[in-house]
Every structure is written in structure tokens, then in C-alpha cells.
């Protein structure tokens, strides 16, 4: 990737305090001189994240993890923290991610490029807003994990593989895991566990046919399921507010309805975010409580990152799932109406008919 990068001292525009918001240049007010970097967008991911032609190592010579920066996209100004993971911020909030070779600017669980109307070839200007302004929050949220099986207590924990439960869900009918077809250390374990569980139907939230065929082991159990037509590939983004997410979710749920023979495996790449949202919806549809859904969602963070239940970190991250249901409903709601909220979402937003919702419920519940 070609890079465009320069450090300069200048007067910068600042607009508000965190959390993020957007304003125009006319609404911005002047601040004191700060270090600034300008870089060109060289790639936009399918999730709407933008990659800059700016090496993270060079960027971190001027900025540090936990800094708050101003990101200028055209005449829009966005306050964002410098972090290493999407989970380091709340859902919908912006972030400048520096854990890869090149700087990435994104919205957590949303489409940055679409929201701010930017694409490859456009310049973003990143300016210091508040040195260390997000550091305390970052230290609470920051997560690290090992990629070595020997650091985990079981194959199931390493592969984030487990059955869903709660409400009236059929026992050992719905499972979730990391990607059994990805070319990484966890995939062989997830594949072996899928075979052991007798998985017969798979909803793959992450892959297109091209990406699947580029990584799958042709001799794996998963490959046999795919060759038998038992795997639906959704290539789904992570922005659950988008029409694309709803459309692909509809396809996946219709696949479950038309393939009622279980067990069914739902996975993305890590089995944490997209799989977490879809699992939460199915659990809620089956009558699971919010506490049951949060406990399952947070098991991925316990498995991968050793997040301690009851800790401030656990409580902070678990808000992702409560915020998810609030957003799909459009407003807060009584917890005893969670199943109804989910049914309305599946009909009004996802596009299932009421008859399909009842059919789906019949497939997954006792």
C-alpha cells in the first residue's frame, strides 16, 4: 500500500467531548496547537472500516494508546480513541485501531465509510484532541488472548464451542463456535467438535464462497457438510443496523427453517460478535431471559480473554448485548417483553413473516 503521511504543528478544530459525534467545520471551535497526521484511505473493508496508507508503528511515534484524537473526514469532525480492538469502545462509537500493520478507522458494529461518505483515495486528518483522554476506559476494556491451545483448559474453550441454552431451546440443538473452516489454530478444534456434536446444518455468518474455499480443509468434516449443501454462506457485515445485515440474517434464519434437522452450528470467525448477536436473537425468541443471554454472550469473553464475571470489565462489555436489544427496538423496554421485541424485529426489520417466525420457533424450541 502506498502511504501519505506528514506530521505538522497547526491550529486544529475541536468540537465536543467523548462519546463521538459529528459536526461541520463551521461548527467547530479552535484549540491549541497539536500534532496532526494526514493519510489516504487505501482500502474499505466489507464492514465499512477504512484502512489508511499509514503504518501503525509510525503513527504511534506521535500518538499513544488511550489518546483521544479528532478525525477529519471532509467537513466532518469525529472524536475517537486510539485503541487495539473494536470492543474497546461502545457499539456505534468510532475508533482508531492500531493493532495491525496499518492504521484502521472504524465504527464499532457499524459502517464508518458509509456513515461519513468516504472511500478509497480520500484523505483523513487525525489530530490530537486529548492526550491520554481515554486511557482509563481503555485499560478497563482492553483485551488480550493467546493463540496457543496449551493456554486453555479445554478444546471447547479454545474453539469457543458450546450449545445454546435458556428459555425453551431444545437441548444440544443450537451450537455456536469460531470458524471451523478458517486457516488458523482454532479451526481444526472447532471442526472436530462439530463432528463430535453431530452438527448437520451450518449458518456461516462470515464467509463468501470465495473466502471459504480459500481456507477450508477439503478433508474436514465441515467440507463434507458444505459439499452436501448443509452450509449457508452469508458473508455478513457486523453493522446490525444495516439493511444488508437484516437481509442476510433473513436468509440464514430461512435456512434453519428449511433445514430443521439438527444440530445446527452458528458461527462467524471468532464466534463472538456476529454469532453473539444471532445467538442472542434465537435465545430471546425461545424465551430466554436477558440474564441468560448475557451469560452466554459473555462466555466468549471469559473463554478468550479470561474476563472475570462480576468485574467492572465484565459489566462494561456486557452492555454491548443490552444496547443491541435496545437499538433493534428503538427505545428501552421492559425485560419481560424481550421475546416480543425480538419477534417484532424479525418481522418488521428482518422481513420474516409471522408464520415464518412461528416456524423458526417450532424448530428451535421444545
Block mean pLDDT (10 aa), the chain, length 366: 34 32 36 72 94 96 96 96 92 93 94 96 96 94 92 98 97 98 97 98 98 97 98 94 95 97 96 96 98 97 95 92 95 97 98 98 97
Looking at the fold, whether 212 and 303 belong to one and the same domain comes out as: yes
Same domain, 119 and 181: no
- Predicted pLDDT at 28: 36
Domain limit, last residue, from 104, 124, 141:
141
Distance in angstroms (rounded) separating the CA atoms of residues 90 and 340: 25
| CATH number of the domain within which 41 lies | 2.40.30.90
pLDDT at 34: 61
Same domain, 209 and 252: yes
Predicted model pTM: 0.81
- Counted domains in the chain: 2
Quick one: pLDDT at residue 46? 87
Burial category of 171 from C-beta neighbours within 10 Å (exposed 0-12, middle 13-18, buried 19 and up): exposed
**Inside any domain, residue 226:** yes
- Tell me if 2 is assigned to some domain: no
CATH of the domain at 165: 3.90.190.10
Phi/psi for 12 (5° steps) reads -120, 160
CB 22 within 8 A of CB 92: no
Q: Which domain holds residue 227?
A: 149-364
Query: Do residues 46 and 171 share a domain?
Result: no
Please tell me whether residues 349 and 200 are part of one structural domain.
Answer: yes
Amino acid at each position: 500500500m502506498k502511504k501519505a503521511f506528514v506530521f505538522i504543528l497547526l491550529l486544529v478544530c475541536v468540537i465536543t467531548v467523548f462519546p463521538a459525534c459529528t459536526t461541520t467545520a463551521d461548527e467547530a471551535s479552535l484549540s491549541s496547537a497539536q500534532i496532526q497526521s494526514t493519510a489516504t484511505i487505501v482500502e474499505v473493508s466489507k464492514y465499512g472500516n477504512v484502512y489508511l496508507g499509514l503504518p501503525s508503528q509510525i503513527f504511534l511515534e506521535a500518538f499513544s494508546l488511550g489518546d483521544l484524537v479528532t478525525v477529519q473526514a471532509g467537513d466532518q469532525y469525529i472524536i475517537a480513541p486510539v485503541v487495539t480492538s473494536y470492543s474497546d469502545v461502545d457499539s456505534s462509537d468510532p475508533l482508531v485501531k492500531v493493532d495491525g500493520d496499518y492504521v484502521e478507522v472504524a465504527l464499532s458494529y457499524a459502517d464508518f465509510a458509509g456513515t461519513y461518505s468516504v472511500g478509497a483515495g480520500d484523505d483523513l486528518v487525525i489530530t490530537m484532541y486529548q492526550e491520554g483522554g481515554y486511557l482509563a476506559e481503555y485499560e478497563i476494556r482492553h483485551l488480550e488472548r493467546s493463540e496457543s491451545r496449551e493456554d486453555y483448559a479445554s478444546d471447547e474453550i479454545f474453539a469457543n464451542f458450546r450449545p445454546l441454552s435458556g428459555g425453551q431451546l431444545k437441548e444440544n440443538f443450537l451450537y455456536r463456535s469460531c470458524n471451523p473452516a478458517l486457516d488458523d489454530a482454532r479451526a481444526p478444534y472447532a471442526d472436530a467438535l462439530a463432528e463430535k456434536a453431530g452438527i448437520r446444518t451450518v449458518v456461516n455468518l462470515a464467509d463468501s464462497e470465495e473466502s471459504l474455499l480459500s481456507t477450508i480443509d477439503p478433508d474436514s468434516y465441515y467440507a463434507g457438510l458444505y459439499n452436501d449443501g448443509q452450509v449457508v454462506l452469508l458473508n455478513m457485515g457486523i453493522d446490525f443496523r444495516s439493511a444488508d445485515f437484516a437481509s442476510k440474517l433473513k436468509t440464514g434464519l430461512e435456512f434453519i427453517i428449511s433445514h430443521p434437522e439438527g444440530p445446527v452450528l452458528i458461527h462467524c470467525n471468532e464466534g463472538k460478535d456476529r454469532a453473539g448477536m444471532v445467538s442472542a436473537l434465537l435465545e430471546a425468541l425461545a424465551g430466554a431471559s436477558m440474564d441468560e443471554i448475557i451469560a452466554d454472550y459473555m462466555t466468549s469473553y471469559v473463554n478468550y480473554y479470561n474476563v472475570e464475571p462480576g468485574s467492572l470489565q465484565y459489566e462494561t462489555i456486557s452492555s454491548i448485548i443490552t444496547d443491541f436489544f435496545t437499538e433493534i427496538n428503538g427505545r428501552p423496554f421492559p425485560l419481560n417483553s424481550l421475546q416480543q421485541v425480538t419477534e417484532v424485529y424479525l418481522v418488521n426489520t428482518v422481513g420474516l413473516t409471522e408464520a415464518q417466525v412461528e416456524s423458526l420457533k417450532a424448530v428451535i424450541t421444545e
